Amino acid sequence: MIKSRICSILLFVLICIACDGKRLIDPPKPNIDPTPKPVAVGEEQEDPLYADQWNLQKVSAPRVWDQYSSSKAVKIMLIGSGIDYNHEDLRANVHINMKELKEKNPHNGSSFNNKDDDGDNLVDNFVGWDYVDNDGLAYDRYGYDTYLAGVIAATHNNGKGIKGILKKASIYPVRYINTNGQSRIPTLARALGHISEVKPDVVLINLISVQLSRFPEVSRVETKAIENALNKAQKLGIPIVVGAGNIHMELGSQEGIRKVFAAYENVFMVTSVDKDNKKPFLANYSYQFVHTTAPGKDVLTTAPNNTYRKVSSTNIAAAHVTAAIAMAISEHGSEKTYEDYFAALLSSKGSTEVEDLNNYVAGGNTLSIEKFLQALK
């Protein structure tokens, strides 16, 4: 009975992996996700909740905003639950594929022509890609990656909510987590395959919902599928940032999906600290596998439906580091590599050293964007 079940699971995994990062072929179904709204343009106004964003001061973001004058909007891929791309504080910094979205205000559905208008082998991919529903609107129906997007690039001085670390960005969402916050490794593997297709500047991956199978035969196949996608991203030199997780675990103590990611040189793992640079109780850690820390406790950020909330998670910490790397990429472009960025983040010159963190992360430090950018000069 057990052997039969393993064979069934293994067959399912193999069929999914055979897609090699492509969409599964499903019958057409109506797309119920909202289409992107136009960006409102108005006079600059102070963001009313900015004073409550302790995290920005902690990572020295305001100190670099005046220096950070690049006009380039770095493409940041968020792989997770999708984002609320119509949020009042995110809309301006979301990647919209105007080659597919032909209408300036497409709420009548006229842009859905079921054609690949831009020749990228994806049909009607308006905002990222959704591997749950197999469509081109990666809308956040679970309500998680919208938090991460706000930390990275909530719009500055629009008179709404908060500020993100970046003034300008192009956030490209890829959805593999369903409405209930669940997913499977094959779906994640296909989402990871999207990295080598789109070739973003930096990637943030939300791993809250997936685990490797407890059956060794299945786990090996799942691991191989993830490795195939990560190998391609590493060859392209694309930096990937991952949160360490939130179950109060030393990551070296057992096998798991994060150890698969940690084996790659272009993957940077982050855990969280609070206002006092203390590691929260639930935040995972490892001197061997986790590199650095950033704010991840009670951080105010965007939430679905034009709302805001305080969130605690190592993914929030990872979003801070992702934004810092994106800022560096906008300044240095191809002159620097992920090795340069990671070395600076780990160095005493490019971070804030915290003695209490020496046993928790390799760097024994926490993020300082100002020092990080200085270390790269």
Tell me the angle at which helices 314-332 and 145-153 cross, rounded to the nearest 10 degrees: 40
- Structural domain boundaries, residue 237: 2-375
Measured distance CA(208)–CA(205) in Å, rounded:
9
Tell me the angle at which helices 216-235 and 185-198 cross, rounded to the nearest 10 degrees: 10
Give the pLDDT score at 67: 83
Measured distance CA(143)–CA(165) in Å, rounded:
20
Domain of 222, CATH number, reads 3.40.50.200
Chain centroid to CA 97: how far?
19
Give the pLDDT score at 19: 47
Residue 68 CB contacts under 8 Å (≥ 6 apart), including other chains: 167, 327, 330, 331
Measured distance CA(36)–CA(47) in Å, rounded:
23
Give the pLDDT score at 281: 98
CB-CB contact of 368 with 352 (8 Å)? yes
Chain centroid to CA 317: how far?
11
Give the pLDDT score at 27: 45
pLDDT in tens, 58-114: 999 999 998 875 557 899 999 999 999 999 999 999 999 877 776 545 554 555 677
How distant, in Å, are the alpha carbons of 32, 83, 98, 115, 117 from that of 102? 19, 21, 6, 12, 10
Measured distance CA(279)–CA(129) in Å, rounded:
34
pLDDT in tens, the chain (377 residues): 555 555 555 555 554 554 444 444 344 455 667 777 766 666 789 999 999 999 999 999 999 998 875 557 899 999 999 999 999 999 999 999 877 776 545 554 555 677 766 667 777 778 999 999 999 999 999 999 999 999 999 999 999 999 999 999 999 999 999 999 999 999 999 999 999 999 999 999 999 989 999 999 999 999 999 999 999 999 999 999 999 999 999 998 878 999 999 999 999 999 999 999 999 999 999 999 999 999 999 999 999 999 999 999 999 999 999 999 999 999 999 999 999 999 999 999 999 999 999 999 999 999 999 999 999 99
Give the pLDDT score at 245: 97
Overall domain count for the chain: 1
pTM: 0.90
